Chains A and B, each alone.
Chain A
Amino acid sequence: QSALTQPASVSGSPGQSITISCTGTSSDVGSYNLVSWYQHHPGKAPKLIIYEVTKRPSGVSSRFSGSKSGNTASLTISGLQAEDEADYYCCSYAGLIAYAVFGGGTQLTVL
């Protein structure tokens, strides 16, 4: 099972919006509405920010939103803030055998 494909890095200025893509296959992202996204500040525990493609856990800012089209899921962060600078990972359910697969991660830089 290969990792989901994410851009290595993205950047944006405060106040702008950015989108991070997460490309899988018809065996994972394309087959299930079970994609989650995590924000990871180095040295800290990852934090769930989106689950089941579009849902936000309680307490997560509405500036974070998720979507999916075909084999590609996307995370959009609007109104960028300095505190959003972190690594972001997607994760998809991949069936009973492979079960869970993460993306390679995207480093977000707030300019």
Chain B
Amino acid sequence: QLQLQESGPGLVKPSETLSLTCTVSGGSTSSSSYYWGWVRQSPGKGLEWIGSIYYNGNTHYNPSLKSRVTISVNTSKNRFSLRLNSVTAADTGVYYCARHGGAVDFDSWGQGTLVSVSS
């Protein structure tokens, strides 16, 4: 059974870089059938797609975040990562990693990790 688990600091200072990793078990980030993505939910708001990566490193990013986001994949360690730089309080929220195929079929999700941006 596929499982995804987010990990990383729960507190980041303004202007610094948010870094999260998603470790995949029961499945492979080397699969050519899926993308691996990040989605967040700010307090009191809806889901927002951040970006996704394919096994070969091809990426898609939300245009509104593109200038600050980098997603990478390490297929040998079966994990993928998110870096969001120059964070502000608006980047506070629960960050989910997820697998998706068929363009936007996010069929497996991590439990989410809360990241707060505060000094």
A residues touching B (Cβ–Cβ < 8 Å)? 1, 3, 32, 34-36, 38, 40, 44-48, 51-52, 57, 89, 91-93, 96-105
In the A-B complex, the 7 residue pairs with the closest CB atoms: A45-B109, A105-B46, A93-B103, A51-B105, A99-B60, A100-B49, A102-B47
Decide yes or no whether B112 CB sits under 8 A from chain A. yes
Nearest CB in chain B: distance from A107 CB, A: 10
Chain A residue nearest to B111 in the complex (CB): A45
Interface residues of B in 19-55 (CB under 8 A from A): 37, 39, 45-49, 52
Q: Are A103 and B106 in contact (CB under 8 A)?
A: no
Q: Are A45 and B47 in contact (CB under 8 A)?
A: no
Cβ contact of B52, chosen from A40, A45, A99, cutoff 8 A: A99
A1 to B109, CA, bound (A): 24
Q: Are A89 and B96 in contact (CB under 8 A)?
A: no
CB within 8 Å: A-B pair count: 75
Q: Are B47 and A89 in contact (CB under 8 A)?
A: yes
Contacts of A104 in B (CB 8 A): 45-46
Q: Are A102 and B105 in contact (CB under 8 A)?
A: no
- Please judge, given known A-B contacts A3-B46, A100-B52, A102-B47, whether A36 and B105 are in contact too, CB under 8 Å: yes
Q: Are A102 and B46 in contact (CB under 8 A)?
A: yes
A47 to B112, CA, bound (A): 13
Q: Are B63 and A97 in contact (CB under 8 A)?
A: yes
Q: Are B102 and A52 in contact (CB under 8 A)?
A: yes
Chain A residue nearest to B96 in the complex (CB): A45
A18 to B64, CA, bound (A): 33
> Told that A57-B107, A102-B46, A102-B47 touch, could you supply 13 new A-B pairs with CB distance under 8 A?
A45-B111, A46-B106, A48-B105, A51-B102, A52-B102, A52-B105, A89-B46, A93-B104, A99-B49, A99-B60, A100-B60, A104-B45, A105-B47
Contacts of B45 in A (CB 8 A): 104
Can you list 6 residue pairs at the A/B interface with Cβ under 8 Å? A34-B103, A34-B104, A46-B109, A91-B106, A99-B62, A102-B46
Q: Are A36 and B104 in contact (CB under 8 A)?
A: yes
Cβ contact of B104, chosen from A47, A57, A100, cutoff 8 A: A100
